[in-house]
Copies of this chain bind each other. A is one copy, B any other.
Amino acid sequence: MTEDVSRRDFVKMAGVAVGGLAIGAVGGYSLMPPKETIIEKEVEVPQEVPEHPWQYAKLDVEKVKERAYNAYFVGGCSYGAFEGIVGELQEKVGHPYTSIPTKISVYGKGGTVGFGTLCGALNGASMAMNLVSNDLSMVTEVVGEYTETGYPTWKPAVTKKTDADLPTSVSGSPLCHVSVTKWCEASGFESGSDERKERCGRLTGEVAGRAAEILNAMADGTFAAAFVNPESVTGCNGCHGDDGAIANVHAKSECLQCHGDPHTD
């Protein structure tokens, strides 16, 4: 911003015009000062938007979690995670982040308009990470780690639907449907219950917070990817993956969750 403006080389009128006026008065016999009319004309100029990826500023992880949790109850999980991170950047950095309407991410809720595919919290967090970096290993880390993490363990300062500690479950999958159904089975709560909504709100906070933690580590130069695909995936992909003998799978999600093991069943 600062650079931007100085490059445009604006000049402040003030003293300069007055100086001109003073010379005029001294040079003449007339004591009447020359009349000045100032016409101000507003000219709208496009604000320069920097090249992608945008400069990241380290965020307060707790603030991101709280913001994401609260935004979940406004626009759902995907908006929650995206607004949690990008909203904080809008507040902390301002331009160019303020030029992104965070509502662009609402569609991702319920695994994209309720289809139960990619967990919306992962979608929103991934989009935010991709805004500030081309290094997609961070996205792999957050998505991969999600599949192995028991959610929810974090609780916001002020809860929306219930203040109770909630049971946790590990999804084994980045899919919304698998994640929600496994939690319903583990907790005994129904998918339409307040507890399930509270669970998804807290999960949204945790996922956004984890993404911010990883972005902070990247900013510090200390990020190191730790996630590795489980053996079931590397095992199946040995034959079915892009380089295998059968080569009909271009994916790395847990296989047996949907397929059982067709070689032994």
List chain A positions with a Cβ less than 8 A from chain B. Answer: 1, 4-5, 8-13, 16-18, 20-21, 23-25, 27-47, 49, 51-54, 94-96, 98-108, 110-118, 122-123, 126-127, 129-131, 134, 136, 139-140, 143, 174-177, 180-181, 184-185, 190-193, 196, 241-243, 247-253, 258-259
Task: Give every chain B residue within 8 A of A259 (Cβ-Cβ).
Answer: 258
Taking A24-B34, A184-B247 as contacts, is the C-beta distance between A103 and B123 under 8 angstroms? no
Residue of B nearest to A114 (CB): B252
Contacts of A54 in B (CB 8 A): 101
Shortest distance between the CB of A124 and any CB in chain B (Å)? 11
Given contacts A1-B98, A45-B45, A45-B46, 20 further A-B contacts (CB under 8 A): A13-B13, A16-B17, A24-B34, A39-B40, A42-B43, A42-B45, A46-B46, A46-B94, A46-B98, A47-B99, A52-B103, A105-B130, A107-B136, A111-B253, A115-B118, A116-B253, A181-B250, A191-B248, A192-B243, A192-B250
Task: Identify the interface centre among A33, A107, A108: most chain B CB within 10 Å of its CB.
Answer: A107
Q: A139 → chain B, closest Cβ, in Å?
A: 5
Can you give 28 A-B contacts (C-beta < 8 A)?
A8-B10, A10-B11, A16-B17, A20-B34, A20-B36, A24-B28, A24-B34, A27-B28, A28-B28, A28-B29, A33-B34, A37-B37, A39-B39, A40-B41, A42-B45, A46-B98, A51-B101, A52-B103, A99-B99, A99-B100, A105-B127, A111-B253, A113-B140, A115-B143, A190-B247, A191-B242, A192-B242, A258-B259
- The 6 lowest CB-CB distance pairs between A and B, nearest first, are A24-B24, A116-B251, A52-B101, A192-B242, A10-B10, A34-B34
Name the CB-closest residue of B to A260. Answer: B260
